[in-house]
A and B are shown apart, each in its own frame.
Chain A
Amino acid sequence: MKFDEFAERCGEWLRGSGPQSDIVISSRIRLARNLAEFPFIRRCNEQDRKGIEQTFRAAIQSVTDWKELINVDVAGLPSIDRQFLVERQLISRELADASGARCVFIDANETYSLMINEEDHLRMQVMHSGLDLESAWEQANKIDTELDKRVAFAFHEKLGYLTACPTNVGTGLRVSVMLHLPALVITQQIEKVFRSLQKMGLAVRGLYGEGSQAMGDFYQISNQVTLGKSEEELVKQVGEVIPVIIDYERQARAFLVKESRKDLHDRVSRAYGILCTAQQISSEETLHLLSSVRMGINLGLIQDLEIPTINKLFIHTQPAHLQKLRGLELETQDRNVERALYLQTHLRKRPGEDPAEHN
């Protein structure tokens, strides 16, 4: 199955090479759409769900440029594989946990995914590395336009695109940027930044979305409003505030380097040391320590390690990835041992060295 090849690779959005990628992890565009001829998901029976799947499948397969899309039947997937797709951010937790017919179309480079029968009939998501909102929007807009030629979306003259939840109506657009803000967390300014963002009508969330705690100092900033502003205005609204936050994070990093370089270097080195030598480690601690190491690399406190390696470790040390890579289902305790081993192998590797020596 093609899908298994994902485990070894790394999504485009994690290649860590986009603009401002020392602080901006990824830029994401999400569009919510519904078919006019079916009720919203809450009122769908299994026959409706299948009808929606079929309608989109026919439309998607008729676009010549999309022949390479990988179609995954989420309903028929074991839970570890669903979890795997969530960790990779190719599907939402909502789609993973739902019941009934549902599926996802993913492009081979993992820059976009089309989720069918999520909260809305269609949720399309485009994800680019670094700060790259305009081109992500351009790509999403193209996908939407191709589908619009083939299906009838629920649309209202005054209210725009109609969605199951009134919080998404209008454009159905959610513009999000994922940021790595360790220095703002250390200097305890993060709360303040959040409050000013909220005053500007922007929402802030932790790495794994609603309800979950921010882990490893990763935060997602997105637009709150979807109605009354054009798509371009919403992209601009989020896009304009990000450089300001990047600037604050850089100032906080410079402040830390200047005022407490020793403490900072100690923190980074300890984190690196634990990751290289631990015999068992939880995914939460791993995220936390990798975050420090990532900042250390960006500040030149750690040499011989590159950001893409760290980005890859963030994803590959999560429970489902770890088990897929090992090819085994593991209990929590065994996963912690396996995770420590995986980290050792990948972190102690130096250019030109054979990682096998350390095993």
Chain B
Amino acid sequence: MKCQQCEKPATFHITELTGPEPQEHHLCETCAKTYLSQNDAGAPPPPTLAAVLAKQLKIGQAADELAKLDQRKCPVCGITFFEFRSQGRLGCSHDYVFFEKELTPLLLNIHGETRHTGKRPAHAVQGTDAKTELIRLRREMKEAVEKENYELAAKLRNQIRDLEK
């Protein structure tokens, strides 16, 4: 079989799938390369979390504003916004509330939506705040022990016990 574009033998057989019917092209290597590279410049790859964040911050934040934002620290787990944006992972479930303003456009960019419509836990989720409080108390107790503030540590331990009941 001869190449559709020139006289050389066709070694590449490409079936185009973008239309309603598959369309066959028979091309030599040179013509196939040209053909494929023309079509290669199609859709951009899907966004990665890091790319989306970088783009968003560049557009939205001036340098000193960003520096201030980076210092913001979740009161529950202690993660800073800087840590989140450099690691791409959040520190606790409260971060979704604490960094809501920054996360909303990010979620929109990734999912095109900000509202969950799927499955829900069967039993009431009212306990979540108390559970999140446990994360904060455990972290503060650990810090109190490190600072050898045993009085505070004991007080926090009692609070943890009450919540765990």
Contacts and interface: CB of A to CB of B under 8 A. Distances in A.
Contact of B119 (A164, A171, A189, A203): A171
Contacts of A45: 142
Interface in A9-38: 34-38
A215 interface: no
Contacts of B113: 170, 225, 227-229
Interface stretch (A101-109, A247-255, A316-324): A247-255
Given A227-B107, A231-B119, A159 B114 contact: yes
Given A36-B93, A166-B103, A228 B116 contact: yes
Contacts of B131: 35-37, 152, 154
Given A169-B107, A248-B17, A231 B127 contact: no
Contact of B14 (A153, A169, A188, A231): A188
B118 A36 contact: no
Contacts of B15: 187, 189, 248, 251-252, 255
Interface in B96-121: 96-97, 103, 106-107, 110-121
Given A43-B92, A159-B96, A224 B116 contact: no
Chain A contact residues (Cβ within 8 angstroms of B): what range?
35 or more
Interface string A146-163: 001100111111111110
B118 A160 contact: yes
Contact of A156 (B14, B91, B96): B96
A2 interface: no
B135 interface: yes
B158 interface: no
Contact of A37 (B42, B125, B134): B134
B93 A34 contact: yes
Contacts of A40: 77, 89-93
A156 B15 CA distance: 47
Contacts of B138: 48
A40 B79 CA distance: 11
A34 B96 CA distance: 13
B93 A156 contact: yes
A135 interface: no
Contacts of A145: 122
A228 B135 contact: no
A255 B92 contact: no
Interface stretch (B43-51, B61-69, B147-155): B43-51
Contact of A152 (B16, B17, B103, B128): B128
Given A37-B131, A145-B122, A167 B116 contact: no
Contacts of B92: 39-40, 43
A193 interface: yes
Contacts of A203: 46
A333 to B, nearest CB: 36
Contact of B36 (A37, A160, A188): A188
Interface string A214-244: 0000000000111111110000000000000
B132 interface: yes
B111 A228 contact: yes
B12 interface: yes
A191 interface: yes
Contacts of B122: 145, 148-149
B110 A166 contact: yes
A229 to B, nearest CB: 7
Contacts of B96: 156, 159, 162, 169
Nearest to B1: A259
Contact of B78 (A43, A189, A191): A43
A192 B89 contact: no
Nearest to B97: A156
Contacts of A159: 96, 107, 114-116
Given A166-B103, A166-B106, A198 B45 contact: yes
B111 A170 contact: yes
Given A37-B135, A231-B119, 14 more contacts: A39-B77, A40-B77, A41-B89, A148-B122, A156-B97, A157-B125, A165-B88, A187-B13, A187-B15, A191-B36, A192-B17, A227-B115, A228-B113, A228-B116
12 contacts: A36-B128, A43-B77, A45-B142, A155-B120, A155-B125, A160-B120, A166-B49, A166-B107, A170-B111, A198-B43, A228-B114, A231-B119
> Would you list the 9 A-B pairs with minimal beta carbon distance, nearest first?
A228-B113, A160-B116, A36-B131, A154-B93, A227-B111, A37-B131, A43-B91, A230-B118, A39-B92
